[in-house]
């Protein structure tokens, strides 16, 4: 059994509680992790007795508030130099963001010593949403009674930050009328700002002030009515590049809701999603957009798919896809959707992905300790 010590927040500026919970969900049988968030308690530990020692630095754009504080800069440098002299491996942590995002962010503090970057990927938001919702009792209903189909709208399509790929898809869908019977939002679109209809917003939330308070927490909450009243989620992911799959809360919400979904995200996003144990809807509609490397062409394929799904709506609001009514699709995918829901809430499966993140840190530490 190898023993690892982790100082989870060198300057105590981040959310070390989340990091502790994340690490404690691991299932690496040959590794033990002792966690400490307070730098000034290091003297309580026999640091030389550990196989590896890690120091996690909270690095994010929110820390711009600290920039220019000479006392902070001096103390940060002093702590890092002392930890480095004691054989610590450094982890600069921004797990809320993708690799692409952090390359375009004003992150602080800046570490000049060798380190590994902890960015988004697969495990962080799965962990966060699991912890946030594991004890909640939701009541999502997607059934129908005879000829009655209770869903009033086609798509649920939620956007906040006006990233270029989101604007492009949203404008095309809006321009072609594909969203005419859908619940859709775009809080920060410059010319076409749209908020959630009041009856579909979380109780007590002022949609007009949404982007100014409770920002992250509200993004990661989930409310039944929008999912109950729509047929399919258009998941608007953070990035659409061809070199990094970043999976956020945006997909976990329809998974929890057992909702059918289409994803506007990275190249091979659905493939990665299936690799980690989930299922998608390729047997029921065209998912070839996931195989399109070019972001613009991927958007065109998504527009074509959503236009096709929209066009299959018959009079009276009965939605069909090909020769299959949406009622039939929901009936036929009941096991698939439950599989996704149950996999999301399976702590052992989540632990496998957490293990992979921690293994990257262990491998980096071992490489760093090899004499050059």
The total number of structural domains in the chain stands at 2
pLDDT tens readout for residues 138-190:
999 887 654 446 788 999 999 988 999 999 999 999 999 999 999 999 987 87
Q: Are residues 241 and 184 in the same domain?
A: yes
The candidate with the shortest Cα–Cα distance to 121, out of 365, 363, 361, is 361
User: Would 225 be classed as within a structural domain?
Assistant: yes
pLDDT band at 311 (very low <50, low <70, confident <90, very high): confident
User: Would 266 be classed as within a structural domain?
Assistant: yes
**Distance (Å, rounded) from C-alpha 19 to C-alpha 39?**
15
Q: DSSP assignment of 313-330, as one string?
A: BPTTS-BEETTEEHHHHH
Domain CATH code at residue 361: 3.40.50
| Mean pLDDT, rounded, for 243-255 | 96
Q: Is the peptide bond before 34 cis (omega within 30 degrees of 0)?
A: no
Q: Are residues 152 and 58 in the same domain?
A: no
Q: Are residues 253 and 140 in the same domain?
A: yes
Mean pLDDT lowest for which of 7-11, 88-92, 313-317? 313-317
Considering just the CA atoms, what is the radius of gyration of the chain in Å?
23
**Distance (Å, rounded) from C-alpha 143 to C-alpha 138?**
15
| Mean pLDDT, rounded, for 51-79 | 95
Alpha-carbon dihedral of residues 170, 230, 98, 277, nearest 10 degrees?
-140
pLDDT band at 209 (very low <50, low <70, confident <90, very high): low
**Distance (Å, rounded) from C-alpha 314 to C-alpha 323?**
12
358 near 28, Cβ under 8 Å?
A: yes
Q: Are residues 70 and 164 in the same domain?
A: no
Task: State yes or no: pLDDT of 313 exceeds 70.
Answer: no
**Distance (Å, rounded) from C-alpha 266 to C-alpha 104?**
17
User: Would 276 be classed as within a structural domain?
Assistant: yes
Q: Are residues 244 and 261 in the same domain?
A: yes
User: Would 291 be classed as within a structural domain?
Assistant: yes
Q: Are residues 35 and 94 in the same domain?
A: yes
Q: Is 125 helix (H, G, I), strand (E, B) or coil?
A: helix
pLDDT given for residue 193 in this prediction: 85
pLDDT band at 269 (very low <50, low <70, confident <90, very high): very high
Q: Are residues 172 and 220 in the same domain?
A: yes
Strands (E) located in 237-362: 260-264, 320-321, 324-325
User: Would 71 be classed as within a structural domain?
Assistant: yes
User: Would 86 be classed as within a structural domain?
Assistant: yes
Q: Are residues 187 and 63 in the same domain?
A: no
pLDDT given for residue 198 in this prediction: 87
pTM (2 d.p.): 0.92
pLDDT given for residue 213 in this prediction: 41
Alpha-carbon dihedral of residues 64, 65, 69, 71, nearest 10 degrees?
-100
348 near 27, Cβ under 8 Å?
A: yes
302 near 178, Cβ under 8 Å?
A: no
Q: Are residues 324 and 197 in the same domain?
A: yes
As a whole number, the mean pLDDT across the chain is 90
Residue 154: in which H helix or E strand, if any? strand 153-159
Task: State yes or no: pLDDT of 214 exceeds 80.
Answer: no
**Distance (Å, rounded) from C-alpha 214 to C-alpha 116?**
30
Mean pLDDT lowest for which of 66-70, 96-100, 190-194? 190-194
Q: Are residues 288 and 318 in the same domain?
A: yes
**Distance (Å, rounded) from C-alpha 8 to C-alpha 38?**
8
**Distance (Å, rounded) from C-alpha 358 to C-alpha 28?**
9
**Distance (Å, rounded) from C-alpha 239 to C-alpha 243?**
10
Residue 321: phi and psi, rounded to 5, are -130, 115
Range of the domain at 254: 135-344
Whether the CA torsion 148, 152, 155, 158 is positive or negative: it is negative
| Mean pLDDT, rounded, for 357-371 | 89
The answer for residues whose C-beta is within 8 angstroms of residue 352's C-beta and 6 or more apart is 27
Whether the CA torsion 92, 97, 99, 105 is positive or negative: it is negative
Q: Are residues 72 and 139 in the same domain?
A: no
Tokens standing for residue 244: 């990094």
Q: Are residues 31 and 167 in the same domain?
A: no
User: Would 130 be classed as within a structural domain?
Assistant: no
User: Would 327 be classed as within a structural domain?
Assistant: yes
**Distance (Å, rounded) from C-alpha 273 to C-alpha 142?**
23
């Amino acid at each position: 059994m190898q023993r690892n010590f982790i100082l989870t927040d060198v300057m105590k500026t981040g959310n070390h509680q989340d990091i502790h919970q994340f690490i404690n969900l691991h299932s690496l049988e040959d590794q033990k992790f002792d966690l400490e968030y307070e730098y000034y308690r290091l003297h309580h530990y026999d640091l030389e007795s550990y196989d590896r020692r890690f120091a996690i630095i909270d690095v994010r754009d929110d820390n711009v508030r600290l920039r220019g504080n000479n006392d902070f800069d001096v103390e940060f440098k002093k702590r890092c130099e002392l930890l480095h002299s004691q054989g610590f491996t450094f982890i600069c942590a921004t797990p809320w963001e993708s690799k692409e995002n952090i390359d375009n962010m004003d992150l602080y503090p800046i570490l000049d010593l060798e380190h590994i970057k902890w960015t988004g990927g697969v495990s962080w938001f799965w962990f966060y949403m699991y912890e946030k919702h594991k004890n909640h009792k939701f009541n999502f209903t997607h059934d129908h009674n005879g000829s009655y189909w209770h869903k009033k709208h086609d798509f649920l399509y939620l956007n906040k930050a006006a990233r270029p790929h989101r604007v492009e898809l949203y404008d095309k869908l809006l321009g072609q009328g594909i969203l005419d019977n859908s619940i859709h939002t775009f809080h920060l679109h410059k010319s076409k700002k749209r908020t959630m209809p009041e009856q579909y917003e979380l109780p007590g939330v002022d949609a007009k002030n949404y982007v100014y308070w409770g920002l992250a927490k509200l993004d990661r909450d989930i409310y039944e009515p929008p999912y109950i009243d729509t047929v399919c989620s258009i998941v608007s992911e953070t990035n659409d590049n061809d070199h990094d799959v970043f999976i956020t809360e945006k997909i976990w919400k329809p998974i929890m809701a057992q909702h059918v979904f289409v994803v506007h995200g990275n190249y091979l996003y659905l493939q990665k999603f299936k690799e980690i144990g989930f299922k998608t809807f390729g047997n029921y509609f065209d998912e070839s957009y996931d195989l399109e490397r070019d972001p613009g062409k991927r958007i065109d394929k998504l527009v074509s798919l959503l236009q096709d799904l929209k066009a299959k709506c018959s009079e009276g609001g009965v939605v069909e896809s090909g020769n299959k009514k949406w009622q039939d699709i929901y009936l036929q995918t009941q096991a698939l959707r439950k599989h996704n829901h149950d996999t999301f809430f399976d702590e052992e499966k989540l632990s496998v992905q957490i293990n992979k993140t921690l293994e990257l840190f262990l491998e980096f530490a071992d490489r760093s300790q090899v004499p050059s």
